Amino acid sequence: MIKDPIYGAFGDAVSTRRKALGLTQSQLAGKVGISRASIANIESGRQNILLHHVYALATALEFAKVADLLPALPQRQPGGELKMTLSNQTLSKQRLSQSAEAQVADLIASALAPRRSGKSGA
């Protein structure tokens, strides 16, 4: 299997949200209808996940929309022209990681994208 970094990023997102909601891997597995081992493999990025499981996970993890669970592609060129500063950067000397910059750039692109007219299919 070709290891695509998106599986690792997706696994991290699932794991972060599961913990934020105070769920165990077994509890999440029960809600999704897959094994606890599958959840463990998904969270560690070792499993190519099926699309209907992505939707079931988004529901089980109480997201309003499935896209809230889908991270920006880590390998996408970060930032571009965007200048970013991190809180307490002067004191902590920390910098944003490339994948974090990509996520923030992606979020800003969504915010600035022209609004659709609201009519579907157009």
Q: Which residues lie near other proteins (CB under 8 A)?
A: 12-13, 16-17, 20-21, 62-64, 68-72, 82-88, 90-92, 94, 96-97, 99-100, 103-104, 106-108, 110-112
Least distance (Å) from other proteins to the CB of residue 74? 10
| Euclidean distance between CA atoms 85 and 74, whole angstroms | 19
| Euclidean distance between CA atoms 107 and 91, whole angstroms | 26
| Euclidean distance between CA atoms 7 and 91, whole angstroms | 34
Please give the radius of gyration of the chain, using alpha carbons only, rounded to the nearest integer: 17
CB-nearer residue toward other proteins: 92 or 121: 92
Least distance (Å) from other proteins to the CB of residue 22? 8
Residue 33 region by backbone torsions, left for phi larger than 0, else alpha for psi between -120 and 50, else beta: left
CB-nearer residue toward other proteins: 44 or 68: 68
CB-nearer residue toward other proteins: 4 or 12: 12
32 within 8 A of 56, measured Cβ to Cβ: yes
CB-nearer residue toward other proteins: 1 or 64: 64
